[in-house]
Amino acid sequence: MESIYLDYNSTTPMDPTVVQAMTESQLSGFVNPSSQHRLGQNARQLLEDEKCRIIELLGGKSSGLEQDRLVITSGGTESNNLALSGVANFQNQKFQRNELIVSSIEHPSVLETANYLQASGMIVHHLPVDSTGKVNVDFLPQLISPNTALVSVMLANHETGVIQPIPLIGEICREHNVLLHCDATQAIGKIPVHFGNLGVDLMTISPHKFYGPRQIGALLVRRNIDLAPILYGGQQQLGTRPGTEDVPSIVGARVALELAIKRLAETDAIKKLRDELESHLSDHLPDLVINGIQGERLPNTSNISVPGANRQALLMSADLHGIALSTGSACASGSSEPSPVLTAMNLPNSIIDSAIRISLGFATTKQDIEFVGQKLGEIINKLRSSKQI
């Protein structure tokens, strides 16, 4: 039985155009861009051109005195680690700024890095969110102090899809002369993302969330912002992130980003399907709760709860019917831990315990959604009548 994949926030299939560009790049050269020979220099030039193009596509400055820089990493997780540890350690060593502010709904790659930094002596403040899944910006000025090294707030949440008020947060940070990191992992390819307009200082990018390759990511860094490295080795990327760069993956990331931007217009159709699914489910399950629906959300994401249901039973039953869903972030699925995002939203246990995430992609069809809407309704009612929920 073929599965209907509705877990695109977890990862996306690589677009064939990306595969082709990467294959051609793989076949045309295996050269290390740090090698001094002509082949190495050509690879370096290609690498730098690709990085400039990525910066431009993301709304950064790729030339001139104000040039932003792109640090290539192994993915969103490493970019978030580098942003937090890199800024915090540098700011702490140089300016004795030893406090961090992170929103309480960040991905574990931010929250766990903050926990690690706290264990090493930094002071970490959590910016709360309200029950709609939006960070409570009013608390930010109170949390900022002269010792604040960095504020980190994501652009869109991985579980609820709720879009955060980053330009406003950026204004507050600038007023207080504090750096702002934004994890844009879930937003790119789903909504327009412009580094300059967002007013952030560092931004995390992860191409496998927008039909690009896995195990490559980037941190876009505003000019003049210094980062302490988290890896030690050679002088690649000016020592900020040592290790041999993989040119074909960077080509793949650039092609995926170009495509993602071109295809933004198609996200209206995805939103329409998501909304149809939600309204079908609401019609058939009167007690259905759509988490985060009160605010602005990513067009492809739906986080639903049926109070009293067991999310794990629901997920497994859907899987048996060929529907691939998630109980939250991929790192937490497979475990029965309650969602930290919904917990931070202070939702009742009955909502948290029954929450599942449905995330649509470009390959999702109307037929898929009709089937899933009908099947999920049936599954929930069946589990209910057999008291398995």
Ligand X SMILES: Cc1ncc(COP(=O)(O)O)c(C=O)c1O
Q: Rank residues 75 and 86 by Cβ distance to ligand X and give the closer one.
A: 75
Closest C-alpha among 191, 158, 192 to residue 301: 158
Which of 18, 46, 70, 75 contacts ligand X by CB under 6 A? 75
The three-state secondary structure class of 350 is helix
Query: Least distance (Å) from ligand X to the CB of residue 76?
Result: 2
**Nearest-approach distance from CB 83 to ligand X, in angstroms:** 11
Does the protein bind ligand X through residue 330 (CB under 6 A)? yes
| Three-state secondary structure string covering 29-80 | CCCCCCCCCHHHHHHHHHHHHHHHHHHHHCCCCCCCCCCCEEEEECCHHHHH
* Piece in contact with ligand X (CB under 6 A), picked from 72-80, 86-94, 191-199, 250-258: 72-80
* 182 catalytic residue (yes or no): no
Select from 238, 228, 220, 231 the least CA-distant residue to 85.
228
- Select the residue whose beta carbon is closest to ligand X and give its number: 76
Candidate segments 36-44, 73-81, 160-168, 231-239, binder of ligand X by CB under 6 A: 73-81
Cβ atoms of residues 82 and 203 within 8 Å: no
DSSP classification of residue 83 = I
In sign, the C-alpha dihedral spanning 324, 327, 330, 335 is negative
Beta strand pairing call for 202-205 and 289-290: unpaired
240 touching ligand X, by CB under 6 A: no
Q: How far is the CB of 27 from ligand X (least distance, A)?
A: 26
Residue in 33, 60, 76, 189 binding ligand X, rule: CB under 6 A:
76
- Of 42-50, 71-79, 114-122, 194-202, which part binds ligand X (CB under 6 A)? 71-79
Residue 329 in contact with ligand X, rule: CB under 6 A: yes
- Pull the structure tokens for residue 227: 């980062």
Strand intervals (E) in 247-386 = 289-290, 301-305, 323-324, 355-359
Nearer CB in complex with ligand X: 195/389: 195
State the Cα torsion 381-382-384-385 to the nearest 10°: 110
Least spacing, CB of residue 377 vs ligand X, in Å = 28
Tell me the closest approach of the beta carbon of residue 270 to ligand X, in angstroms.
17
Stretch that binds ligand X, among 114-122, 180-188, 260-268, 376-384 (CB under 6 A): 180-188
Q: How far is the CB of 340 from ligand X (least distance, A)?
A: 12
181 contacts ligand X (rule: CB under 6 A): no
Alpha carbon distance 232, 82 (integer Å): 12
206 part of the interface to ligand X, by CB under 6 A: yes
Of the candidate residues 15, 99, 183, 201, the single one contacting ligand X (CB under 6 A): 183
Q: At 88, is the secondary structure helix, strand, or coil?
A: helix
Residue 151, strand partner residues = 101, 180
Please name the residues in contact with 235: beta carbons below 8 A apart, sequence gap of 6 or more.
Answer: 34, 242
- Check residue 202 and report its DSSP letter: E
**Locus of tokens 């370096």:** 44
* Nearest to ligand X of 299, 373 (CB atom): 299
Site mask for ligand X (CB under 6 A), range 83-122, x = bound: ------------------------x-x-------------
Whether 179 and 291 have beta carbons less than 8 Å apart is answered as no
Out of 89, 152, 186, 267, which residue is the one contacting ligand X (CB under 6 A)?
186
> Is 328 one of the binding residues for ligand X (CB under 6 A)?
no
Under the binding rule (CB under 6 A), the answer on residue 260 touching ligand X is no
Contact window for ligand X (CB under 6 A) among 179-187, 248-256, 293-301, 319-327: 179-187
Quick check: 154 binds ligand X (CB under 6 A)? yes
Q: Could you give phi then psi for residue 332, rounded to 5 degrees?
A: -95, -20
Q: Look up tokens 């009612």; give the residue.
A: 381
- Residues that are catalytic: 331
Question: Which residues contact ligand X (rule: CB under 6 A)?
Answer: 75-77, 80, 107, 109, 154, 158, 183, 185-186, 206, 208, 217, 329-330
